[in-house]
Amino acid sequence: MTFCSGAVGLRDRKRDRTHADLARAAFALARERGLDGFAVDEVAERAEVSRRTFFNHFQSKEEAVSEVARVQVSTALLRGRALLARSGPCSGAAAEQAKADSDDAPLGTLRPAMLPLLTPVVSEESDEATHKLYAIVRSLLDEETVEVFRELSRLAEDHRTLAPHLAAIQVSVVDQAAELLRTGMPAGHAQPVPPVYAHALPGAVAATMWAVYSGQLEVVELGSRSPTAVTTAELVQQLRSLIPAALGP
């Protein structure tokens, strides 16, 4: 598998869009009324599908509400893959397909949150681990992704039935980040992430992102003016430093 992904079937795209529409509808209703303020029928009506279609996708409204975060993460990491495809010599059609896949992701266009502060950290001379961590961090700190997770964290404080679903999404973040770290880079970045760290780093990434989403760790590029706020450049550097120099690429 490479970062230059192939086309997805039309039927799968349609199902994915319906799935995302239901998740967005449930999430919007939860924000407007609270988790106890709406019924499954209202989710289906807002997404313009039947109640039966809702239950073809979800077992409960809690699952639908929290699913928006999983879809958001998957969409964000698709953009991370596209970022890596564009940063290396994936040839024309393949790189364009990676970009098209990310642009056609179910939740629509994501606003890029990263910024000039990352430029000194990632360059053509940066090793594979730094490039990959940059892509993952840049993707997961998209403003829209952060907003979704922060809102879900607030909802979960009042509705503990959301907690198991959010925990499952955190596992999904670890799995997807691990896949990205283990997948081969484009030519020109031949030094691999050491295998043990390709498995260990995703847990550190997920824990760091959850600290940001819950407000325990503040980030300058997300608007924080706290004296203890960190830059995204520092996040990438500190995560990269978890691989000892003697073992790193």
Cβ pair 186, 85 in contact under 8 A = yes
Of the candidates 206, 194, 151, which has an alpha carbon nearest to the alpha carbon of residue 35?
A: 151
Place of tokens 């939860």: 30
What is the 8-class DSSP label of residue 230? B
For the stretch 186-238, pLDDT in tens is 445 445 667 777 778 888 998 999 999 988 999 988 888 899 999 888 898 89
For the stretch 70-100, pLDDT in tens is 888 888 888 878 777 765 444 344 445 444 4
- Give the highest mean pLDDT range of 4-13, 99-108, 116-125, 133-142: 133-142
Indicate the pTM of the whole model.
0.73
pLDDT of residue 38: 96
For the stretch 156-168, pLDDT in tens is 988 999 999 988 9
Q: What is the DSSP string of 114-129?
A: --GGGTTT--TTS-HH
pLDDT of residue 184: 58
The beta strand positions in 36-95, using DSSP E, are none
